[in-house]
């Protein structure tokens, strides 16, 4: 569900903010920055922006020696939890801005703000993940121990999660306060946090905020598409690629796999499932996976993925009239057939 909400921020930021007719100024840049005669890629620009914001938050904001330990902790929390993912959410803000405004016409300050808002979305995602990992008793995240599982952290990670959320608003206040879309940004970030577990409510809210009725249809489909992928990868993904060990079977999760299985299995197979699902021992988990294979769930999943992707493409082509189709199609392509 949080993925849909983060997608909403991304769409709303583009439609409400960076698409504004306020992109003015004499200084222009191709995609942002040249360094030592080399044009940097979007990903390199994004990484540089992260280093700047870490420095800003931990070195420039406060100089009181009393705060040294607290700032060192914040630096560690940021570096451990914010980078390391696919960064699709954050990079999509800047990528979509370049679909709306010619890169050669982008003022450097707008490039900077787009990169920064992209990182704010990544920080919100990090806040969600640190919290969710504690609630789910997860072991690994992005190829390393979950933050709360790191030696010396434990449940102090709850406080660290709020640190991640808090710095979002410090950054937005400092860098976007003078922009006409500042209030929109604050509302989007705060309401996503409060409503991330209520997709229906947020879809209705979207109608009012973005003023695009068709997005009310798009958001649930994007969310369902991504969640089903997550459910499949939890069971069939390679931990070396996904960066985490799946536990949906052990945790008795109501995943797409088990719901689909219940709809097509025999009474005997259901009895087998009920005897094993939700148990953490390796034998029970393996028996559930064997059932899934017998029911050909991997084949059914790939068929469903293809059908869902085609529906998304059709919806975008049909309704995205006021924005370039690439803004949405590029985003859909990034999650299509993902393996992590």
pLDDT digits (tens, 9 = 90+) for 38-49: 577 888 888 899
- Let me know whether 46 and 184 are in one domain: yes
Q: How far apart are CA 63 and CA 77, in angstroms?
A: 19
- Let me know whether 253 and 325 are in one domain: yes
Residue 136 confidence (pLDDT)? 84
What DSSP element (H or E) covers 145?
strand 144-145
- Let me know whether 12 and 121 are in one domain: yes
**Which of 14-18, 199-203, 264-268 is least confident?**
199-203
Angle in degrees, 0-180, between the axes of helices 108-136 and 42-55, rounded to the nearest 10: 80
Q: Which residues contact 78 (CB under 8 A, 6 or more apart)?
A: 54, 57, 58, 123, 164, 167
pLDDT digits (tens, 9 = 90+) for 72-128: 999 999 999 998 877 878 888 888 777 777 777 778 888 888 899 999 999 998 999
Angle in degrees, 0-180, between the axes of helices 68-81 and 108-136, rounded to the nearest 10: 90
Residue 262 confidence (pLDDT)? 95
Averaged pLDDT of the chain: 80
Please say if the pLDDT value at position 243 is more than 60: yes
Q: Average pLDDT, stretch 24-31?
A: 42
- Let me know whether 309 and 194 are in one domain: no
Q: Of residues 334 and 41, which shows the higher confidence score?
A: 41
Q: Average pLDDT, stretch 300-307?
A: 92
Looking at 187, 204, 221, which one is the last position of a domain?
A: 204
Looking at 172, 204, 236, which one is the last position of a domain?
A: 204
- Let me know whether 120 and 15 are in one domain: yes
Instruction: Using the CB atoms, write b or e for 53-65: b if 16+ within 10 Å.
Output: bbebbbeeeeeee
Residue 156 confidence (pLDDT)? 93
User: Taking Cα atoms as reference points, which of 245, 235, 326 lies closest to residue 287?
Assistant: 235
Q: How far apart are CA 189 and CA 116, in angstroms?
A: 14
- Let me know whether 165 and 235 are in one domain: no
Residue 54 confidence (pLDDT)? 92
| Number of domains present in the structure of the chain | 2
Q: At 290, is the pLDDT very low, low, confident or very high (cuts 50, 70, 90)?
A: very high
Please say if the pLDDT value at position 231 is more than 80: yes
Please say if the pLDDT value at position 188 is more than 70: yes
Residue 104 confidence (pLDDT)? 76
Q: At 172, is the pLDDT very low, low, confident or very high (cuts 50, 70, 90)?
A: very high
- Let me know whether 264 and 140 are in one domain: no
- Let me know whether 114 and 29 are in one domain: yes
Residue 24 confidence (pLDDT)? 39
HSE (side-chain half, CA atoms, 13 Å) at 198: 10
Looking at 204, 237, 265, which one is the last position of a domain?
A: 204
Residue 81 confidence (pLDDT)? 94
- Let me know whether 97 and 225 are in one domain: no
Here the tokens at position 272 are 């087998």
Residue 241 confidence (pLDDT)? 84
Q: At 15, is the pLDDT very low, low, confident or very high (cuts 50, 70, 90)?
A: very low
Q: Of residues 193 and 138, which shows the higher confidence score?
A: 138
- Let me know whether 189 and 216 are in one domain: no
pLDDT digits (tens, 9 = 90+) for 141-165: 988 999 999 999 999 999 999 999 9
- Let me know whether 173 and 216 are in one domain: no
What residue numbers bound the domain in which 45 lies?
A: 1-204
CATH number reported for the structural domain that contains residue 92 in this entry: 1.10.600.10
Q: At 189, is the pLDDT very low, low, confident or very high (cuts 50, 70, 90)?
A: confident
* Strands in 184-316 per DSSP E: none
**Which of 135-139, 192-196, 217-221, 289-293 is least confident?**
192-196
Q: How far apart are CA 94 and CA 3, in angstroms?
A: 18
Please say if the pLDDT value at position 300 is more than 50: yes
Please say if the pLDDT value at position 62 is more than 80: no
Residue 246 confidence (pLDDT)? 87
Q: Average pLDDT, stretch 171-188?
A: 88
- Let me know whether 33 and 127 are in one domain: yes
Q: Average pLDDT, stretch 230-243?
A: 89
């Amino acid at each position: 569900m949080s993925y849909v909400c983060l997608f909403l921020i991304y769409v709303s930021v583009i439609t409400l903010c960076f698409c504004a007719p306020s992109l003015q100024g004499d200084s222009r840049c191709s995609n942002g920055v040249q360094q030592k005669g080399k044009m940097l890629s979007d990903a390199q620009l994004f990484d540089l922006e992260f280093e700047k914001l870490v420095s800003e938050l931990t070195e420039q904001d406060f100089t009181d020696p009393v705060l040294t330990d607290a700032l060192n902790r914040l630096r560690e929390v940021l570096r451990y939890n914010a980078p390391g993912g696919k960064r699709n959410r954050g990079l999509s803000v800047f990528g979509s801005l370049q679909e709306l405004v010619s890169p050669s016409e982008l003022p450097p300050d707008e490039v900077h703000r787009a990169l920064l808002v992209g990182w704010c979305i990544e920080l919100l995602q990090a806040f969600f993940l640190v919290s969710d990992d504690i609630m789910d008793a997860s072991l690994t995240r992005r190829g390393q121990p979950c933050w709360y599982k790191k030696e010396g952290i434990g449940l102090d990670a709850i406080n660290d999660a709020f640190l991640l959320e808090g710095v979002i608003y410090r950054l937005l206040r400092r860098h976007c306060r003078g922009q006409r879309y500042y209030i929109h940004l604050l509302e989007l970030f705060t309401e996503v946090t409060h409503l991330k577990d209520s997709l229906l409510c947020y879809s209705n809210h979207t109608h009012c905020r973005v003023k695009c009725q068709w997005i009310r249809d798009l958001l649930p489909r994007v969310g369902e598409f991504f969640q089903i992928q997550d459910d499949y990868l939890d069971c069939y993904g390679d931990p070396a690629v996904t960066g985490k060990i799946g536990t949906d079977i052990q945790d008795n999760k109501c995943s797409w796999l088990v719901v689909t299985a219940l709809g097509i299995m025999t009474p005997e197979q259901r009895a087998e499932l009920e005897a094993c699902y939700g148990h953490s021992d390796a034998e029970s988990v393996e028996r559930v996976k064997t059932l899934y294979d017998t029911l050909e769930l991997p084949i059914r999943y790939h068929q469903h993925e293809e059908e869902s992707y085609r529906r998304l493409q059709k919806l975008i082509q049909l309704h995205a009239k006021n924005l370039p189709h690439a803004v949405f199609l590029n985003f859909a392509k990034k999650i299509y057939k993902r393996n992590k």
